[in-house]
Structure 1
Amino acid sequence: MSTTQPSFEIPAEMRDFAEKSVEQARSALTSFIQNARKAADSLQTSTKTAELPASVAFSRGLAFTEQNVTAAFDLAQKLVRARDVQEAVQLQSDYVRTQFAALQTQAKELTSAVQPNKA
């Protein structure tokens, strides 16, 4: 009995379409985050709250959001290019491991940003 699994190939046109869609979504979301950052910076400047712990945490939160969105889009682009299911599963596994570590670091940093300095 043969244990050869059938090969599943995604047509190049579909792969190209998916890759372009991921890039368009990345561009739109990056633009949105940049506009949110500009609005927040403008508000903090006009209200002179840029150094308050909540403002610092908000700014760091935006930066973390941008990092996490970038990582997710990087994964999406890699998944679009994956040759088979095994490679896609490995990419997903690597992403989860990396993002878990990043989220732990980000949580620690946000926690320290909102805590008052002890001098």
Structure 2
Amino acid sequence: MIEPKLEVPAELRDLAEKTIDQAEKAFGMFFDAASKSMASVPGSGSEMSKQALSFTEQNMKAAFEHARKLIHATDLQEAMRIQSEFLRSQFTNAGEHMRQITGGVMSAASDATKGKF
């Protein structure tokens, strides 16, 4: 069975690429502003917030890269391969992020209970 080609005009691919670039730039500005805002907040909770913001930024960058790859897919099989790779990497990253967050929470809890007993 021959996989049909995705017949997407070059103009549409170019428009999609430009739209992704604009959205990525807007999110970059948001993350810059959020990082600057968090830098002024003292306390241990702000470290976890900074870490969560960093994870979110990494996820958004991965999503933009994924979108760029998808708009250049030439057939359905390639699009499904790209999607599968993206989902696999996102699950791996989510697990790593959860391990790091859990480690941070456990460390903070341990620090908070020191000296109380």
* Structure-2-length-normalised TM-score: 0.86
Amino acid in the other structure paired with 2:12: M
Could you tell me which residue of structure 1 aligns to residue 103 of structure 2? 112
Correspondent of 2:63 among 72, 85, 103: 72
- How many residues are treated as equivalent by the alignment? 110
Amino acid in the other structure paired with 1:10: V
Unaligned stretches of 5+ residues in structure 2 = none
**How much has 1:108 moved relative to structure 2?**
1.0
Structure 1: distance between partners of 2:5 and 2:105: 52
Change in CA separation of 1:25 and 1:6 when aligned onto 2, cut-off 3 Å: same
Maintained 8 Å contact 2:70/2:82: yes
Extract structure 1 runs of 4+ deviating beyond 3 A: 3-8
Correspondent of 1:13 among 11, 14, 31: 11
RMSD (Å), alpha carbons = 1.6
Unaligned stretches of 5+ residues in structure 1 = none
Structure 2: distance between partners of 1:25 and 1:111: 31
Structure 1: distance between partners of 2:10 and 2:39: 43
* Structure-1-length-normalised TM-score: 0.84
1:60 aligns with 2:51: yes
% identical equivalent positions: 38
Structure 2: distance between partners of 1:17 and 1:58: 35
Change in CA separation of 1:105 and 1:15 when aligned onto 2, cut-off 3 Å: same
SS at match of 2:8: coil
Maintained 8 Å contact 2:24/2:64: yes
Change in CA separation of 1:11 and 1:113 when aligned onto 2, cut-off 3 Å: same
Change in CA separation of 1:14 and 1:112 when aligned onto 2, cut-off 3 Å: same
